[in-house]
Chains A and B, each alone.
Chain A
Amino acid sequence: MKEIALHLLDIVQNSVKAGASHVDIGFRLDDQGVLTMTVEDDGCGMSPEFVARVRSPFVTTRTTRKVGLGIPLLMQNAMQSGGNVEIESEVGKGTVISATFHTASIDCLPLGDLASTMATIIMGSPDRPEFSIICSSPAGEMSFSTEEIRPALEGVSLAEPEVVQWIQQSLQEEIEPILGGIMR
C-alpha cells in the first residue's frame, strides 16, 4: 500500500464483512507526531483463539483462498515506522483495531487521500453499516457521519455519483486543515 488511507479502505471491509451496524473511524495525530488510526465496529467479533492467530498472513475467514494480507500489510507498514497494531475483540460485541504510525520516521507512509477513501467506503456499503469518522490534531478536530446526512437524502442512495462526490469534496475541505501536514 502506498498510503495509510488505503489500509483504512482495506481494513474497514473486515468490519463490513463482520456484519457491523456501526463503524467508527478515528485518526488522531498527537503533538509528538504519532498518528493513531482506529477502526471500531460492533460486528460479530473474534474468539481469543482467532485473535491470537489473525496476524498471520495464512489466516483468513474467506474460503476461496488460504491467504489474507490485510492485517499483515497494515502491521508491516505501522511497524516499519516504529509503530504497532493492536487488536481487541469479543465475540458478539465487536472489534477494535488500532494502528500507530510515527509520522516523523522516513519510513512512514503518507496519510494519503483520506477523503477519497471515505467516499469509496461509503459508496461500497451505502445502506449499512453507518460510518463515522473523527480526525484530530493539534490544529483542530473534525467529525462526520453517514447518519447525519441520511435524513437529507431520503429516498436517495449514498452510492449515487453526486452524493459520493459531495462526500469526497466536503471531507477533503475539512480534513486538509487538520491532517494536511501528513497527507503527502
Chain B
Amino acid sequence: MKSLAELEAIRKATLSKINVRTEEKGDTTRVVIGMATCGIAAGARPVMLAFMNEIQTRQLNHVTVSQTGCVGMCRLEPMVDVYLPGKEKVTYVHVKPEMVPRIVAEHIVNGRPVDEFTIGAAENA
C-alpha cells in the first residue's frame, strides 16, 4: 500500500470527476459536521468518515463534506447540517454512523429529509 502510483490513479479519476462538478456548478449539496471538542467527544469522527464512504460508494460528485466548530448545542452532538441547493438547511442531531446511509439515500439523493433524526424531532420528544 501507500504507493504514490496509486495516488496518481486516484488523481486521474478525481480530475475527471471535478470537471463534471464544475459544469454542474450551483447544484452542490453541502454536508457540514460539528467537529469541536464536544462533537469529537460525542463521536463525530466516525460519522464524518461514514459520510465520506457513503458519498464515495454512491459516486455523488455534487456533494461536499466539511467540518465546523461548536454551535453551542453540545448536548445534541454529533450534529450534521445538510444544505441542499435551493432548500433550507436541515440539522440532524445525535447522529450515529448507522444513520448515515439513510440520510444520504433519503435526503441527499431523494430530497426527503429524515424527519425523525432532525433537531425538530429531538426537541419535541
Known: A120-B45, A124-B67, A170-B2. A161 touches B11 (CB 8 A): no
Stretch of A27-35, A39-47, A96-104, A146-154 lying at the B interface: A146-154
Query: Do A163 and B10 touch across chains, with their CB atoms under 8 A apart?
Result: yes
Stretch of A48-56, A63-71, A79-87, A128-136 lying at the B interface: A63-71
Residue B122 at the chain A interface, CB threshold 8 Å: no
A2 to B9, CA, bound (A): 36
Query: Do A6 and B40 touch across chains, with their CB atoms under 8 A apart?
Result: yes
Q: Which residues of B contact A38 (CB under 8 A)?
A: none
Of all chain B residues, which has the CB nearest A163?
A: B10
Query: Do A166 and B10 touch across chains, with their CB atoms under 8 A apart?
Result: yes
How many Å from the CB of B68 to the closest CB on chain A?
Answer: 9
Query: Do B7 and A166 touch across chains, with their CB atoms under 8 A apart?
Result: yes
Q: Which residues of B contact A164 (CB under 8 A)?
A: 49, 52
Residue A137 at the chain B interface, CB threshold 8 Å: no
Residue B109 at the chain A interface, CB threshold 8 Å: no
Mask of A159-181 contacts with B, CB within 8 angstroms, 1/0: 11111111011100110000000
Instruction: Give chain B's interface residue range (CB within 8 Å of chain A).
Output: 20 to 34
Mask of B8-34 contacts with A, CB within 8 angstroms, 1/0: 101101110010000000000000000
Known: A10-B40, A162-B14. A119 touches B49 (CB 8 A): yes
Identify B40's interface contact among A1, A153, A162, A166, CB under 8 A.
Answer: A1
Query: Do B14 and A160 touch across chains, with their CB atoms under 8 A apart?
Result: yes
A90 to B89, CA, bound (A): 41
Query: Do A10 and B45 touch across chains, with their CB atoms under 8 A apart?
Result: no
Query: Do A169 and B1 touch across chains, with their CB atoms under 8 A apart?
Result: yes
Query: Do A153 and B49 touch across chains, with their CB atoms under 8 A apart?
Result: no
Query: Do B37 and A70 touch across chains, with their CB atoms under 8 A apart?
Result: yes
Query: Do A162 and B70 touch across chains, with their CB atoms under 8 A apart?
Result: no
Identify A13's interface contact among B4, B10, B36, B72, CB under 8 A.
Answer: B36
Query: Do A123 and B10 touch across chains, with their CB atoms under 8 A apart?
Result: no
Q: Which residues of B contact A149 (CB under 8 A)?
A: 4, 7
Query: Do A9 and B45 touch across chains, with their CB atoms under 8 A apart?
Result: yes
**Interface contacts beyond A152-B11, A164-B49: sample of 5 additional A-B pairs, CB < 8 Å, sorted by A:** A1-B41, A9-B35, A156-B18, A161-B55, A162-B10
